[in-house]
Amino acid sequence: MKKANIREASSWFDVLLTARHTQAAAMRLDPGGVSSESLNTHETSDQVLLVLDGAVRAEVGTEKAELSRGDVVIVPAGTPHRFRSAGSRPAVTFNVYSPPAY
């Protein structure tokens, strides 16, 4: 069994666990911080993003949404996307990639 704790994440983005078909990661964005300066794409991996804390402005394809604690989105493989911390405190997310992207 592979096991990790999200509190062990030590940088703004950390891969926590990787298996053959899936991968788990944690992302922490300081207020105003972005996941990438330009839209990012995972050509062959779907991404599931769950907001654990803070507020996130999501851009997924042509859609934009404000996300808060407990909200979850799926970014289909090949879809341009970006996430921005939209609150006064850091945003923390838990992400799953299938198949692994990193």
What does the pLDDT look like over 11-20, one tens digit per residue? 999 999 999 9
pTM over 0.85: yes
Domains and CATH numbers, the chain: 10-98 (2.60.120.10)
Output the average pLDDT for the chain: 97
Percent of the chain with pLDDT over 90: 95
Residue 43 pLDDT class (50, 70, 90 cuts): very high
Cis-peptide, bond into residue 99, ω within 30° of zero:
yes
Tens digit of each residue's pLDDT (9 = 90 or more) over 49-94: 999 999 999 999 999 999 999 999 999 999 999 999 999 999 999 9
Spatial neighbors of 8 by CB under 8 A, at least 6 apart, are 14, 16
